[in-house]
Amino acid sequence: MPHFVIDWGLHALLKFTFDYETNTVLDIGSGLGEHKRFMEYFDKKVYSVDMTAKADYFGDFLNVKIDNQFDAIWCSHVLEHQRNVGAFLDKIYLALKLGGVLAIVVPTHSRDKLIPGHITSWSIPLLCYNLVLAGFDCSQASILKTYELSLIMKKNDAPHFERGKNSIYGMEIAGYKKIKREEMNPFEHIESYFPFPAKPGSSVSGHGQINWGNFLRYFVRTNKEIPTFESKNINIYPDFLPKIDRH
């Protein structure tokens, strides 16, 4: 029976692999390749990007030449390592086909902790905001927050005047529009691209999900053996143990 060690990104990996029909997948920051091996077991054609010699695209994602667009992009525990988040997400947008599937997983540790290599801290509002600024419509995104934060969505275009810009307006946009600050919602031009009401001070916190469904049970159509897996995080948080069943 096939066995996998999936310490991070487990719930997103199951939903991404089983709930979306894709063929080619770009695995950004593939590391030891366990996610890639899992997807390949279920007949995905996976191309890896990593700074390890075994990667299909060897090097930093921002530096390597990506000569194709892909049906899907998988990016687990990579975004928090990026100094240039906007450029990173812009390149993901270009590498993903319109209607393709994007899965991003990030940690949820306190921003008060100093962790080697982790130079950004993430929440549901901030992740969606950054994706919208890169041109993604997150209004139908599936989001799960457990011991990590997972987001999966199809690429739908989100045109707006701040898309791809290096600097973003805040409340000062009221001055440019010559209206009173108290009458201004600086998110009005992009609020339809969020999966929650986007207003100044909007907060989405704690464990929970948006458009995810049952995160403890996943169904797969396959004649293959259902694999087993182990995860250090599931050992720590057994209440989040998922089950795989056949359709």
pLDDT of residue 205: 83
Chain-centroid distance, C-alpha 192: 19
Is 3-246 a CATH 3.10.180.10 domain? Answer: no
Contact 179, 43 (CB under 8 A): no
List, for residues 9-26, the tens digit of each pLDDT value.
999 999 999 999 999 999
Q: What is the Cα–Cα distance from 143 to 25, expressed in whole angstroms? A: 20
Q: Which of 27-31, 110-114, 143-147, 235-239 has the lowest mean pLDDT?
A: 110-114
- Average pLDDT on 116-123 reads 94
Q: Which of 47-61, 68-82, 167-181, 216-230 has the lowest mean pLDDT?
A: 167-181
- How many H-runs (helices) and E-runs (strands) does the chain carry? 6, 12
Q: Edge to edge, what strands does the sheet with 57-58 contain?
A: 57-58, 45-50, 24-28, 70-76, 96-107, 148-154, 142-145, 208-210
Q: What is the CA radius of gyration of the chain?
A: 19
Global pTM value: 0.93
Per-residue pLDDT band for 144 (boundaries 50, 70, 90) equals very high
When the pLDDT of each residue in the chain is averaged and rounded to a whole number, the result is: 93
Q: Which of 180, 51, 190, 173 is nearest to 131 (CA)?
A: 190
151-194 pLDDT, tens digit per residue, is 999 999 999 999 999 988 776 554 555 555 555 678 989 999 99
What pairs with residue 182 in β-bridges?
none
- At residue 56, does pLDDT exceed 80? yes
pLDDT at 202: 86
Q: N- to C-terminal Cα distance for the chain?
A: 19
pLDDT at 118: 94
More confident residue, 141 or 167: 141
What is the per-residue pLDDT for 185? Answer: 78
How far is CA 105 from each of CA 32, 182, 190, 245, rounded to the nearest angstrom?
A: 17, 36, 23, 23
Q: Which of 157, 129, 133 is nearest to 143 (CA)?
A: 129
| Percentage of the chain lying above the pLDDT 70 cut | 94
User: What does the pLDDT read at residue 180?
Assistant: 54
Convert the pLDDT of each residue in 196-222 to its tens digit. 999 888 889 888 999 999 999 999 999
